[in-house]
Amino acid sequence: MINTQPYTSRLALAAALLVAVPSFIPHVAIAQEITTLAIGAPAPDFLLPGADGKDYRLSDFASAKLLVVVFTCNHCPTAQAYEDRIKALHKDYQDRGVALVAISPNDPQAVRLDELGYTDVGDSLDDMKLRAQAADFRFPYLFDGKTQAVSRAYGAKATPHVFVFDDQRRLRYQGRIDDNDIKPPTSLDTRNALDALLAGRDISVPQTRVFGCSVKWSDKQDSAAQSLAKWNLEPVELTEIDEQRLVEIARNKTEKFRLINVWATWCGPCLQELPELVEMHRMYRKRHFEIITLSMDDVDMKQRALQVLKDTHASTQNYLSTIEDKDKLAESLDAKWSGPLPYTILIAPGGKIVYRCEGAFDALELKRAIVQHIGRTYASKK
């Protein structure tokens, strides 16, 4: 599995919370008032690790005429909507003496799983490496989620939040990139600021409101852990299903993308990936998406299968097949399935299968397939 550690540790913590007294909730930072850097203030120094494996200081950008610091992140749909525009800012202005550095302010352990409904990765440094590679970031992408000291010093309020500094590293503009994330913008605020400074003019609008996801400060860690504990208490059921009902499920006459995972208690890889399915269920279920598990265990093994689902906290839609003819079962679900377990398919509304995997799935690959279809921004259908 790729990149499962942050969420695996969360599941373990949530399980502990069910039996622990309140004093065992991990200590986290106390919420503080965040004050955004004032126009004219000097750029706070930093030393942060980057997604490229290097460490960066403010002085590393000393030769640039102007410096753009963008606080952004992986998971936020608004931040993702602006990724191409951040890349374009870097490309269009780098030869004009403008350096751009992106910083992720979020504590990854303070992000709830249901806040990851528009992404395939979280906000850890390892996840940032995956996103930077997949999105082909050509600028430094730095992680401040460990202490968040730099984000507090700048006063980052949302992702994205832009700070533009002049050649003396005095703040000349702070605010949004432009005035619309998912529709064509009418006010190119950051570009206007850069153009003015490069031309030696004053910036007409040196400060704008920011919009996007709020910064996930460390004081939200307990909320993230408590959400897992709450979800772990959701009821888990296992319903028997016949051929007719399975055909209906495969036809998917709903408006949701439907992920179906076929598994069995005697299948080792099946059991290994069940926690990943639970995680995806918690991430994406508020979108137009659902997960169905289909057990291939014999009916007399129903209680064993149900117990496995309960132990995994799989509050997905869970079925156990009563179809004795395995060929009929395969034909009812997907004629292209040759039989091995586990088997996973993603069915679009109307019944078209848009993803198939025989054998254990790659969690990152599957999440990317899901997000590709349900969308990374609020411009998506739901």
10-residue mean pLDDT series, the chain (382 residues):
43 40 34 87 98 98 98 98 97 98 98 98 98 98 98 98 98 97 93 98 97 96 96 98 98 98 98 98 98 97 98 98 95 96 98 98 98 90 48
Q: Left if phi > 0, otherwise alpha if psi is -120 to 50, otherwise beta: which for 169?
A: left
Element (H, E) at 289: strand 289-295
Predicted model pTM = 0.89
Contact 26, 222 (CB under 8 A): yes
Q: 39 and 91: one domain?
A: yes
pLDDT at 380: 61
Contact 135, 87 (CB under 8 A): yes
Structure tokens belonging to residue 1: 């599995």
Q: 165 and 255: one domain?
A: no
What three-state secondary structure class fits 281?
helix
Which residue in 198, 24, 184 sits closest to 96, CA to CA?
198
Which CATH number do you get for residue 289?
3.40.30.10
What sign does the CA torsion over 160, 161, 162, 163 have? negative
pLDDT at 378: 86
Q: 31 and 164: one domain?
A: yes
Q: 189 and 303: one domain?
A: no
Asked which of 221, 255, 272 is the last residue of a domain, the reply is: 221
What sign does the CA torsion over 223, 225, 226, 230 have? positive
pLDDT at 345: 98
d(CA 84, CA 185): 14
Q: 83 and 215: one domain?
A: yes
User: Distance of CA 376 to CAs 118, 161, 306, 382, Å?
Assistant: 5, 19, 34, 11
d(CA 270, CA 359): 8
Residue 341 placed within a domain: yes
Asked which of 190, 221, 252 is the last residue of a domain, the reply is: 221
- The total number of structural domains in the chain stands at 2
Q: 125 and 251: one domain?
A: no
Residue 13 placed within a domain: no
Domain ranges, residue 34: 26-221
